[in-house]
Amino acid sequence: MRVWQSVRFRIVFGFFLIIAPLVLFLIYNNLYATRIVREQISVHYSNLMNAQVAANDEILSSTSEFLVQLGTVNDSEVLSLKTLPVDDADYTLAKVRLNNRFILDLSYYKMVDTFFVYMEKDGNPLFATQNGSKSPELDTMLREYSQNIARHGAPEDDKWRIVTLPGDDHYLIKAQDIDLGMYAGALVEVDALDKALTKFDVGPDGAVYIMDGKGGLLTSGPVPASQDAEFRQAVLEMKEPVDTIPYKGKKYLVLSQPSQYSDVRYVIVTTEPYILKNLPFFQKMLYYWIPLISVLVVTGYVLFLQRFMFGPLVRLIRGMRRLGLGRFDVRLPAQTDGSEFSIMATTFNQMAEQIEKLKIDVYEEQLRVQRAEYKHLQVQINPHFYTNTLNIIYNLAALKDFKSVQKLSLHLADYFRFLMHSHRSVVRLENELRHIEHYLEIQKLRYVDKLDYEIRVPPKHQACEIPPLLLQPFVENAILHGFNQREQDGTPFVVRISSADDPESPDRIVRVTIQDNGPGFPETMLEELRSGSYMDGSGEQHLGIWNILHRFKMLYGDEGGIAFRNGPDGGAIVEARLPFARSAVLDDPLSPEGEEPDMEDEFDAYDVGSR
């Protein structure tokens, strides 16, 4: 094969034909310029915001210190208000003088909107404000706020709270207890904190505002509709003071800074296109020309690959899929160009011919292996109580209870007679239940009044054909684990076997339930059984259940199933959903017919009830 005919050469050559380095260089330069502009603007705005927020916090801090000093210095007006009665003329004069002082202080604390004091003995707040139009609303709000802190006490921290007047005017308020039932406070309008920041140039889609800790707007300035509550919530979740938030198809550069003395957050928002307004060439290259050129180049390259690589590859995949579906006559068209796909097509056709020849042999070998595995699993289920049963017979004979010896011997003979024929493919559910009844009768003679059982299976379900020894190990496990681990309370251990039509598929599946009143399955074992991880183990601890699960999966696949749970009042419950239709694996075409006697006739000859 020549070098220029290989797929590898065509892909590498086609890739280098694209002006990849130039495109990458242009993209890098555009992104670099955008990043530099964004960083410079971010640093500039961040410095301005930090300075303004620090100045605002300094005003809030100095105002708080003023309120504290108002209650600690020997001020004559404050002392008069604390000590004189309300109806005293000097008390009124002290209020007038303190009001005049507050008016002068407002000219010094220019950002403060209102100073106020509240005396519990008076009940009316005294305040001086720069916003005279809001005096009635301020009087009502300050009276309610002061009465509330008089009942509950003024906050001891240095935080300013948020209050709202009618008309959605938001203020920060701070109140200080200055003893003897007197409180001093101040109001700062939120819009006053935002005046310097509103001068920033953020563009038509940008905004500068203050919001609370829940994302609610506190300033009255215009905010674009795109910066709704969801956008402001994303701002609250920012982990860095400066970040880029994509929202509704746009990218926003967001700067956020919280106040140290209040639950408010200063926010500056602008858009990336506005940041890059001075870079029109780079913008056009980044948003128009580079994507357009890239689309054209990628389209041409895809067409190139479609002709020389994707087309042959698709034909190869389709051929493999048809081969996987069993169509062994599929062949790929031969190619003579000497490329890798030509070699793959020739190899595929040869492989398909070989698979077609070996198909029958492989299928029959799989059937033999599957039947051998099934027989191996079935043989592993052996009775564990043979020695105990012989001991019981010996003890009964020693006690000269010959009727019990005869009864136990007959049950034991029928029990092992069933085991001798357990290599058969199927038995009727009636015969499986009769085998279980023999086992339970032997156990009843062993445990006398401590064990009982109940079998309720309608005749229409007894004709169902199942693999032998599919249900008996569950009953055996109930005796070995449930009975032996159960706390003796004077009541017998009861095993109940019942059947019913499956609610989901009553015509195809019968549901057989085996239930006891023991302690139930351990939680760890239930989790393994429900998750399917129990089948992945070796089965050494519970060989019977492990074998049954593997046999059931091998015989029925996903049809039916075996479920495990504990009852609401305790006790283990096993539900086996058995299909009426016989599984194809149960039919062994390699076994000679008519060589073994009919099991039903033999079992009828040893029916316990007939004795």
Q: What is the CATH number of the domain that holds 467?
A: 3.30.565.10
The domain spanning residue 250 has which CATH number? 3.30.450
Q: Does the pLDDT value for residue 610 go beyond 50?
A: no
Are 354 and 254 found together in one domain? no
Res. 84 pLDDT band, cuts 50 70 90: confident
Give 320-336 pLDDT, tens digit per residue.
888 777 777 788 877 66
* Contact (Cβ atoms closer than 8 angstroms) between residue 409 and residue 417: no
Same domain, 540 and 556: yes
pLDDT band at 366 (very low <50, low <70, confident <90, very high): low
Q: Are residues 182 and 213 in the same domain?
A: no
Contact 228, 13 (CB under 8 A): no
- Average confidence (pLDDT) over 45-49: 88
In a domain, 66, yes or no: no
Q: What is the mean pLDDT of residues 386-410?
A: 82
What pLDDT is recorded for position 272? 77
Please tell me the predicted confidence (pLDDT) of residue 573: 93
**Closest among 560, 428, 576 to 498, alpha carbons compared:** 576
**Residue of 354 and 88 predicted with greater confidence:** 88
Residue after which a domain boundary falls, among 260, 278, 296: 278
Using only C-alpha atoms, what is the Rg of the chain?
Answer: 45
Residues 532, 505 share a domain: yes
Inter-residue contact 580 to 508 (CB < 8 Å): yes
Structure tokens at 313: 């590859």
Q: Is the model's pLDDT at 236 over the cut of 50? A: yes
Q: Which pLDDT value is given to residue 1?
A: 53
Cα gap 289→300, rounded to integer Å: 17
Please check whether residues 384 and 503 belong to one and the same domain.
yes
Which residue matches tokens 């300013």?
160
319-334 burial: b if 16+ Cβ within 10 Å, else e: beeebeeeebebebee
Is 278 a residue whose pLDDT tops 70? Answer: no
In the three-class reduction of DSSP (H, G, I as helix; E, B as strand; rest coil), residue 468 is classed as coil
Q: State the burial class of residue 208 (Cβ atoms within 10 Å of its Cβ: 0-12, 13-18, 19+).
A: buried
Return the number of other C-beta atoms located less than 10 Å from residue 382's C-beta. Answer: 11
Q: How far apart are CA 611 and CA 605, in angstroms?
A: 10
* Of 49-53, 526-530, 554-558, the least confident: 554-558
Based on the fold, state whether residues 533 and 580 are members of the same structural domain. Answer: yes
> What are the pLDDT digits (tens) for 22-46?
667 767 777 777 778 778 888 888 8
- Are 457 and 516 contained in the same domain? yes
- Specify whether the CB–CB gap between 188 and 160 falls below 8 A: yes
446-498 pLDDT, tens digit each: 888 889 999 999 998 988 888 888 888 889 888 888 888 888 888 899 999 99
Structural domain includes residue 64: no
Whether 369 is in a domain gets the answer yes
Helices and strands (DSSP H and E) totals, the chain: 21, 16
Task: Report the half-sphere exposure of 198 (CA within 13 A, side-chain side).
Answer: 13
Q: Could you tell me which of 563, 476, 547, 544 has the C-alpha nearest to residue 516?
A: 476
- Are 440 and 587 in a shared domain? yes
Chain-centre distance for alpha carbon 182 = 56
How many structural domains is the chain composed of? Answer: 4
Q: Taking 70 as the threshold, does the pLDDT of residue 540 lie above it?
A: no
Count of beta carbons in the 10 Å neighbourhood of residue 125: 22
Give the ranges where 400-449 is alpha helix by DSSP (H): 402-420, 429-447
**What residues make up the domain containing 249?**
3-52+194-278
Q: Which of 250, 278, 306 delimits the end of a domain?
A: 278
What tens digit of pLDDT does each residue of 411-446 get?
Answer: 888 888 887 765 677 888 999 999 999 989 988 888
Residue 406 lies in a domain: yes
Answer yes or no: do 409 and 548 share one domain: yes
pTM of the model: 0.45
Q: How far apart are CA 402 and CA 425, in angstroms?
A: 37
Q: Which of residues 252, 278, 304 is at a domain's end? A: 278
Burial of 268 (0-12, 13-18, 19+ CB in 10 A): buried
Q: Is residue 523 part of a domain?
A: yes
Task: Check the CA dihedral 28-30-32-34 and report its sign.
Answer: negative
| One domain, residues 11 and 108 | no
Q: Is residue 67 in some structural domain?
A: no
The 8-class DSSP code of residue 160 comes to: B
Residue 123 lies in a domain: yes
- Residue 169, pLDDT score: 84
| Residue 427 is assigned to a structural domain of this protein | yes
140 lies in the same domain as 225:
no
Residue pair 549/562 in contact by the 8 Å Cβ criterion = yes
Coil vs helix vs strand at 249:
coil
* 600 three-class SS: helix
Euclidean distance between CA atoms 261 and 241, whole angstroms: 18
pLDDT of residue 12: 64
Residues 342 and 411 in one domain: no
